[in-house]
Structure 1
């Protein structure tokens, strides 16, 4: 994995943790309205997406073909375009504690990095692809990229939720 992708994974995760660390568990689990996720749910969704991405990349390494790279940054960072989360990455409705989610985030990231370290020839990631639920056929190296881009998208959502919750008080 190249240094830029690694740095982006690291920096984005640090930004996410910074956003949530000082929240109370009540703020963390509050929903601005019935149609929105709580910040805890957004974070749980990110954990589930990271874990599902590991499975997808592992699957794609076994047997797949090369597909063209896509402008995923433009797609994922455009928050005017809404996506419905597939059931497999929908968050729990039960409340979470902030530290509990931070632990889950650390755990899923550790799993990702451990998994990626087992791929001896990283160039294979650009040679194989796997179908992404929102982005279609995606080269495996872009599956890694979409983890932090997707996280950046949701950090903006978290900031929005914080503002909406603050406005209620």
Structure 2
């Protein structure tokens, strides 16, 4: 796993994010802030959850690298951990969000354009950060998923994609109800 393949993965994520934004640009803030009848998150709360999850992931990496740790090379175990996350995400079950990215951390009301700008800014900062990391970091278990454990940076980005896909169905369900 190289820096180039990881940044290519980020390019794909950014394309997926652009598709999500194009889908949501058709709505004004009212339906995007309307809570579904099941009491779940609004569309903009889902977006903020995803933003916070990515932000926390990058924060973990930055903190981890600040003390120059010895990092294991990502191999079968890291691939297995990502597989487990993917497996659980494909299950039609609800999962409790970790503290810091749960309902308590989400805004009651938000603006789509500022939420979009926040996420885009965060992604630009992630790209800049990854671009400046030494190549040797990209095949190491540097990221730690809150439930599954240690993975590589590329696997972190794969998780980001899975996470968005998981919540895309929730977004579609809420939009169908409130839109």
- TM-score by length of structure 1 reads 0.84
Which 5+ residue runs of structure 1 have no aligned equivalent? none
The Cα offsets for residues 47-78 of structure 1, whole Å up to 9 and x where unpaired, read as 11111111122344442323521215733641
Of 146-155 and 57-66, deviating more is: 57-66
1:66 aligns with 2:79: no
Residue aligning to 2:22: 18
CA contact (8 A) 1:130 1:137 kept: yes
Residue aligning to 2:101: 89
Residue aligning to 2:154: 141
> Counterparts of 2:12 and 2:100 in 1: how far apart (Å)?
25
> Counterparts of 1:56 and 1:119 in 2: how far apart (Å)?
15
RMSD, matched Cα: 2.2
- TM-score by length of structure 2 reads 0.80
CA contact (8 A) 2:89 2:162 kept: yes
- Structure 1 residue runs of 4+, over 4 Å off? none
1:116 aligns with 2:130: yes
- Measured at CA, do residues 34 and 80 of structure 1 come closer, stay the same or move farther in structure 2, by a change above 3 Å? closer
CA contact (8 A) 2:54 2:160 kept: yes
| Secondary structure, counterpart of 1:83 in structure 2 | coil
Which 5+ residue runs of structure 2 have no aligned equivalent? none
Residue aligning to 2:173: 160
Aligned ranges for residues 3-82 of structure 1 at < 5 Å? Answer: 4-33=8-37, 35-61=39-65, 62-63=68-69, 64-67=71-74, 68=77, 69-70=79-80, 71=83, 74-75=86-87, 77-82=89-94
Give, in angstroms, the shift of residue 161 of structure 1. Answer: 0.9
- Measured at CA, do residues 81 and 126 of structure 1 come closer, stay the same or move farther in structure 2, by a change above 3 Å? farther
| Secondary structure, counterpart of 2:150 in structure 1 | strand
